[in-house]
Structure 1
Amino acid sequence: MIKTVSLAAALALAATTFAYADDDDDDKDLPAGVVEKIEEVMSTLGCKGYEEVEVEDNGYIEIEDAKCEFGVMDIKLDKDGKIVLMSAY
């Protein structure tokens, strides 16, 4: 688990990202398949809404400020939509 977290952190620092605001109109601007991956993870975790989504060049997706039942979280997904990092702030 620590190796996964460390790898995710290293990838986050190394990758260039593109940011997308969380607005229903802006979701259509996200790359194909990203919205479905985000919705599946958010539903599974019981989260409703987020502030921003960053899609990295390597396909990783970072959901910033997700509003979850257990607090506000940053969630990072791999290109397959699997959670690789979650952090509370």
Structure 2
Amino acid sequence: MKYSLMAFAAVLASSTFAFADAPVTPAEADKIKAVLEALGCTGGKMEKETEGSGYFEVDDAKCKDGQYDIKLNREFKVIAMSRD
């Protein structure tokens, strides 16, 4: 029983790493920066979700009225913007 729980935990941990976010390419970063600029925002940590959705995330973008987390779709259109 103990070994099966350990094996399950190992599989779960390895699958979690498979779904981690990935860094964006320089071309993707340029497109994301253009969207941020149009929103009046700068900075933030840019990542691409790897769960198959292809969404982009910008964590902690600094905007005129505060700090936001911004989610973009594959076409770099804003689909969610939440205040931090």
| TM > 0.5 fold call | yes
Could you say what the CA RMSD is over the residues aligned between the two structures, in angstroms?
Answer: 1.6
Q: Which amino acid counterpart does residue 31 of structure 1 have in structure 2?
A: T
Calculate the TM-score normalised by the size of structure 2.
0.66
Aligned match of 2:10? none
Deviation at 1:19, TM superposition (A): 4.7
Calculate the TM-score normalised by the size of structure 1.
0.63
- Unpaired runs of at least 5, structure 1: 1-15, 21-29
Deviation at 1:56, TM superposition (A): 1.0
The structure number with the bigger radius of gyration is 2
Aligned match of 1:45? 39
Q: Which amino acid counterpart does residue 53 of structure 1 have in structure 2?
A: M
Contact 1:73 1:86 in 2 (8 A): yes
- Unpaired runs of at least 5, structure 2: 1-18
Q: Which amino acid counterpart does residue 55 of structure 1 have in structure 2?
A: K
Aligned match of 1:55? 48
Bigger relative CO (Cα 8 Å, ≥ 6 apart): 1
Aligned identity (percent) is: 39
Aligned residues: 64
Aligned match of 1:82? 77
Q: Report which of the two has the higher share of helix.
A: 2
Contact 1:17 1:54 in 2 (8 A): no
* Structure 1 runs (4+) greater than 6 angstroms displaced: none
